[in-house]
Amino acid sequence: MAFLFAYRILAYVPVPGVNVNVIKEFFDSNSSNALGLFNMFSGKAAERLSIISLGIMPYITASIIMELLAATFPNLGKMKKDRDGMQKYMQIIRYATIGITLVQAVGVSMGLQSLHGRGGEDAIMIDMNLFIAIAAASMLTGTMLLMWIGEQITQRGIGNGISLIIFAGIVSGIPSAIGGTVNLVNTGEMNFLVVIGILLVILVTVGVVIYVEMGERRVPVSYSRKVVMENQNKRIMNYIPIKVNLSGVIPPIFASAILMFPSTILQASTNPYIQAIHDFLNPNSYFFNFLTFLLVVFFAYFYASIAFNAKDISENLKRQGGFIPGIRPGEGTAGYLNEVASRLTFSGAIYLGLISTLPWVLVKFMGVPFYFGGTSVLIVVSVALDTMRRIEAQIYMNKYQTLSAVGL
């Protein structure tokens, strides 16, 4: 809790030399595009241009790039699997995070040069070159602090630190969203029945996410009598769990970033043709959400193929003396597992696609004044479930240690 509290304090520490009011006006006018999504993930730190305004995204980007490279280059994949190599692998991710953060920080600083408020005031109040140097150093420090906080949380076994940081950022916006909704009801701009309908939709969405995220296909595994006798005092897993959603929250994040980035860039142009393209890619359009659905499905299959390696599972199973009843060990087992995973991935991809387009449905038909649905619900619920499992495991471990100490 202390680490998460420190994270929220850092979100209110702005980069020196910036006019916070101008930045907030800019993000308020871009709440429905990629900047709004980025601001949500940073816990509203971006609209204050705090030292952690880049959030933990550079670290996540570096991790995803390394995952893709590890799946492409066998030597990097072996490094990741080896215990000593894993330390070197994580060190490469940290260095890549530094590089990505510096590039993004300099880009953001230079972009603010042309930003002005409604009254004509500048976003930067000091010399431009000095501001770029200060902003780059400040944002790099903030991102490295977040990375350290995330790793410390993970090492203490209470959940994935990086996921918890994103979780805290999203949840921090809920009170203001509730306050805004109450104000709309009080002023008569929103019907109370609509609010009840929104709550029902959110509850149903959370229930569906919990049901699917906990769903898995358990492929039965048998072991030879010799293996069972040798491991009488050890627990041998008699099934292979394959989750319905193998790709997690990566596909919605990738799809949103890819589609919203061009829209954000094109809106600065006054060319009529570019403006027509910008309107075509408007996040509130039917075409945009149709593309979102297709991209989420594509990335779900792509990332699931990286996350689930049937060949490695079949080799480990064969090495341990296990087999799937009715399936030949080796290539036969790998083929069977790939077939099961493909069927589950289809269901998981459709589920992710529907969840990702839910915010648009809420905004379009119910006039929801806040962004709480789809990707944000998926992240919040997934992280909460994972944290609960880890806390439960820690409680059981402490109980066993206590019983062992008293001789029971």
- State residue 408's pLDDT score: 47
Per-residue pLDDT tens for 226-254?
555 555 555 555 788 888 888 887 788 77
Q: Which pLDDT band holds residue 155 (cuts at 50, 70, 90)?
A: confident
Rounded distance between C-alpha atoms, residue 15 and residue 152, angstroms? 25
Rounded distance between C-alpha atoms, residue 64 and residue 70, angstroms? 10
Rounded distance between C-alpha atoms, residue 142 and residue 120, angstroms? 30
- State residue 261's pLDDT score: 58
Taking residues 205-211, report their average pLDDT.
Answer: 85
* 367 phi and psi angles, rounded to 5 deg: 65, 45
Residue 64 Cα distances to 4, 57, 197, 282, angstroms = 24, 10, 37, 27
Which range is least confidently modeled, 34-38, 284-288, 356-360? Answer: 34-38
Per-residue pLDDT tens for 322-375?
888 888 888 888 899 899 989 999 999 999 888 888 766 666 666 555 555 567
Rounded distance between C-alpha atoms, residue 20 and residue 32, angstroms? 20
**Max alpha carbon distance in the chain (Å)?**
80
Amino acid (1-letter code) at residue 239 = Y
> For the purposes of burial, counting CB atoms within 10 Å of the CB of 41, is it exposed (0-12), middle (13-18) or buried (19 or more)?
buried
Q: What angle do CA 353, 45, 133 make, to 5 degrees?
A: 120
Q: Which domains does the chain have, with CATH numbers?
A: 1-161 (1.10.3370.10), 191-225+235-407 (1.10.3370.10)
